[in-house]
A and B are shown apart, each in its own frame.
Chain A
Amino acid sequence: MIAINNSYKQRIKSLQSLIALVLLCLVLTVLTDKFFTADNGLNVLRQTAVNICIATGMTLVVLTAGIDLSVGSILALCGAVAAGLLKNGIAIPAVDTYIGFTVLGVVLAAMIVGALLGWFNGLVITRFNVPPFVATLAMLTIARGFTMLYTKGQPISNLGPQFAFIGAGSFLGVPVPVWIAAVVVLIAVCITRQTRLGRYIYAIGGNETAARFSGIRISNIKMIVYALAGAMAAIGGIIVTSRLDSAQPNAGTSYELDAIAAVVIGGTSLSGGRGSIWGTVMGAIIIGVLNNGLVLLNVSPFWQQVVKGCVILLAVIIDKANAKQD
């Protein structure tokens, strides 16, 4: 009897953020007739796609009991690199060479840059024992600085219709960014649930000492995780740049906070080891629906921030209360 009760509770807990999302949607459907339409739904998803990409990478990091504050800046730098390479390619006058890039080429290049920056975060954290908060805070500034240097502080615009398709196009009636986010999420779900890497991520976050005693090479795993977070931020950067048809030097500012919010609302523990990618997706959509709903309700954007903050608090308090019950 107790066992049944327990597993029932467990299930409720894992569905908690989904239930919250459904309730939120119900309330908004009642309050405004513009909310529950297919158009608005896709709209919300399109607006959420970038945060889902970043927050998915953030979830992997947070599961190892880390944090990545640099994703917003990495997003900007990778967006700029993609735009710059697409527009100007690489010219090496000394040997009279010019390398042009296709759209696919710049996407890959941006992801590699993102992964390298993330890997560097991981290197600093594991090799020199710098706390993730500090290491990635430094990267936040460094990557932003490189973005300014690379763009000379000016937007890089007019990137052509092919590239614009990534951010503005649709496939089977669904916006391309939503497809991209879905693929990112699926990959991350596979990693966390089906692979050795995923197991190691949970083990390291749950008990790093025990993981080390079990023979897991902690440093390698952490470097991979931060590299993944960087690559996912780069994907976000490509979407943002494409949607605006322009790489803005100050793109992605404070995006890391939205990503962390989605992770937390989704029920992932900031102390690591507990949480899921699905939770984070729910968390990101909750934030998106909330923003959208408050706009539809004509609530001042200033109030939107207050509400978002309160939701984060509420999510964490419920989570703590649950943890205490265990």
Chain B
Amino acid sequence: MADEVFLKLVGIKKSFGGVHALQGVDLEIRKGEIHCLAGENGCGKSTLIKAISGVHIPDEGSIRIDGEEMKNMKPMDAINRGIQVIYQDFAVFPNLTVAENIALNGELKDGVKRVSWRQIHKVAAEAMARVGVKIDPDIRLERLSVANKQLVAICRAIMNDARLLILDEPTTALTAREVESLWDIIRSLKEKGIAIMIVNHKLDEIYQIADRLTILRNGSNISTGAISEYDQERFTKDMTGRDIVQQKYQPAENKEEVLKVENLTRQGSFENVSFTLYKGDVLGITGLLGSGRGEIGEALFGLAPAQSGKIWLNGKEISIQSVSDAIRNEIGYVPEDRLTQGLFMDRSIRDNTIAASIRSYLKRGKLDEREMEEATERWIREIDIKAPSTRPPVRTLSGGNAQKVVIAKWLNTDPKLFILDGPTVGVDIGAKAEIHSILHDLASRGIGIIVISDDLPELVQNCNRILVMKDGRPSGILDNSIDEVSLGKMLIGA
């Protein structure tokens, strides 16, 4: 059973106006297996999913479901064959109840005109029982966490007799514990013989869940195999096509203080946080959700100022009670949710780059267009933002490039201290490495860098010191000789 092939793609090609999105992809999904699809942004993952789900019809190649050749497959054909895709936005209705979200689509497909609420509740209860989740069916979806919204989407997909469930980057917005319970559910679906394809590019997560892995690069499948055949090195090489040498960051010894914090306290968030940041240091702050890790960053940037404690920046004692205090003291901050807090998505790269430093371009009541343009071009070059010009709106950029624009925005203010919360969330491996090397470069120039993150491999690789927070209290400052596993144990206090 496990080796029977459910879906087989051979030589799938698809171009959009001269751009070859897929250049001959082979893929085989077996019944009841968990198959991960990995690849950097722009490698053709989403085009491939759309070809499988009938949204795009391939230019060349064949798609076989259960051995039967599918010609000109439409979305409805794919659904009728049991292929269900859960996109990143889940396509759920925030204003409707859980029960309705689960049942409505199926009722609609059956051509039901009158809505029976009893039927809706019955369908929803059945779906939740099958998937093994318990959510109050009468609650509106806008009240649910991302993880639970995702579960609702999974319940809905299962209701339509799914045989292959495709999840597009399902873990990006989940906490570690939520990822765990998602994996449990995925495994129980696998037990029921449903094939699962997960798009993901975090190797540690792929190890936890996948049976087999396919890596896609530039529209071709580079390799496919059992998960045991891959180690970190091969994974990275197949993903990026180059060897990314992962070396722990170790700056030269330097006793010049950049930032010193003593007994920083904010009631209900964190207490008695003290640390010193020397020239060249990249300081990591980590901890579980709610441990106060993010709040320290917010306090240093004045978003939610500390109530007591002392802060020295470059030897001078400063007081930060508001964001404008922080900006006056030349502190930059990249928030965790850059899409809603750090960027104007519909404005150009240039407008975003100069957004925090716009005052310096105001000359005699007019903005100096040329200088703004030059500054933006300089940053595009310097930190290698992949964009044709300074004009395209940030919305059109990939996650990694968008994050670089946020970084450029603050670098353009010439900060003395730069705080980044989750700097590589939703960023692929290649861009991640570039962002890290930018941070190291900044640190060596004497800018204080604080990275707040729950990505343990990232912290161990890139921070030479790590402050661990637990329940609002610092539980230790480590150097980076620690490995991920013991760091993870320290987080949960084991």
Bound together: no
User: What residues of chain B have their CB less than 8 Å away from a CB belonging to chain A?
Assistant: none
User: What residues of chain A have their CB less than 8 Å away from a CB belonging to chain B?
Assistant: none
